[in-house]
Structure 1
Amino acid sequence: MKILYETSALSTGGRNGRVHVDNTPLHFEMATPAEMGGNKAVGFNPEQLFAAGYAACFGSAIQHVLKTRRLSLPNPDVRATVGLGKNESDDYQLAVKLTVTLRGVDQAEAESIVAEAHQVCPYSRATRGNVEVTLVAKAE
């Protein structure tokens, strides 16, 4: 694979530590969610950062599909909901729900666009077969 862009981040202290994204001003305090026994009031968690990245990446995949279909629509809204749970083997596992709102198309076309975007999105490709991803398309 020819790398087009590369970045890296350094984490110190895990879920209750700090993260710095190299060559950027991005520094994050991390905090374990209260639902998982955390008690820090301020900070992010890996699931929030994954949700943000997946939502943005999937939005770009939607825009790519719209371009290939020669459709000019308002920017879509993409909400990524990321859950962390335990599977049957008591191992931690992620689950994702992507809710995409498209304006200017009917429901059938919205579903088709979202399904196609799921095939080309790098995050979707990376999670395929490993993470349960539920797609919800909404036409407005």
Structure 2
Amino acid sequence: METNNSKVLYTAVTHTTGGRTGESRSSDGKLDIKLSSPGSTGPGTNPEQLFAAGWSACFIGAIGKAAANLNVKVPADLYVSTEIDLVSGDDGYSLQARLNISLPGIDPEVARAIIQGASETCPYSKAIKGNVKTEYNLI
């Protein structure tokens, strides 16, 4: 999977059984969770929540890099609230997403430039580009 100009920095490995009502564990033991269907009263989380959490964390890292490229210091209280919708349509199931980004104290025009830069470098954003309808909202 590597290209000539890239190298694998980290590989996450999980083992999941039971699908949406099962369990998932990481090979290093740091993740050990129960899964439940979205919107159910089951005891676990669901793939949509996990995707939202991972994407939010990754996007915050990308914000830091994009801000540094613009010589802007990111506020300590920045946050990203990510909403992932599971959608059912004529072509089956799909996802759509909204990343609601708070960059307090940064001029809105500069904040939008940071968000644009982050959306172009965040591995999650790049992976879903063109496949998942996504909105990046400055709040």
Task: Give me the TM-score of the superposition, normalised by structure 1.
Answer: 0.89
Q: What is the match of residue 122 of structure 2?
A: 121
Instruction: Return the alpha-carbon distance in structure 1 between the equivalents of residues 128 and 62 of structure 2.
Output: 15
Aligned-partner residue type, residue 25 of structure 2: H
Tell me by how many angstroms 1:137 deviates: 1.1
Tell me by how many angstroms 1:39 deviates: 4.6
Equivalent residue pairs, number: 133
Aligned-partner residue type, residue 87 of structure 1: G
Following superposition, which runs of at least 4 residues in structure 1 exceed 4 angstroms of deviation?
Answer: none
Q: 1:4 aligns with which of 9, 18, 24?
A: 9
Does 1:60 pair with 2:65?
no
* 1:127-138 mapped onto 2 (5 Å cutoff): 127-138=128-139
Q: What is the match of residue 24 of structure 1?
A: 29
Unaligned runs of 5+ in 2: none
Unaligned runs of 5+ in 1: none
Does 1:98 pair with 2:99?
yes
Does 1:72 pair with 2:73?
yes
Instruction: Return the alpha-carbon distance in structure 2 between the equivalents of residues 73 and 33 of structure 1.
Output: 33
> Which is worse superposed, 4-13 or 67-76?
67-76
Tell me by how many angstroms 1:30 deviates: 0.5
Instruction: Return the alpha-carbon distance in structure 2 between the equivalents of residues 7 and 57 of structure 1.
Output: 14
Task: Give me the TM-score of the superposition, normalised by structure 2.
Answer: 0.90
Two-structure CA RMSD over aligned residues (Å): 1.3
Aligned-partner residue type, residue 126 of structure 2: R
Instruction: Return the alpha-carbon distance in structure 2 between the equivalents of residues 86 and 53 of structure 1.
Output: 23
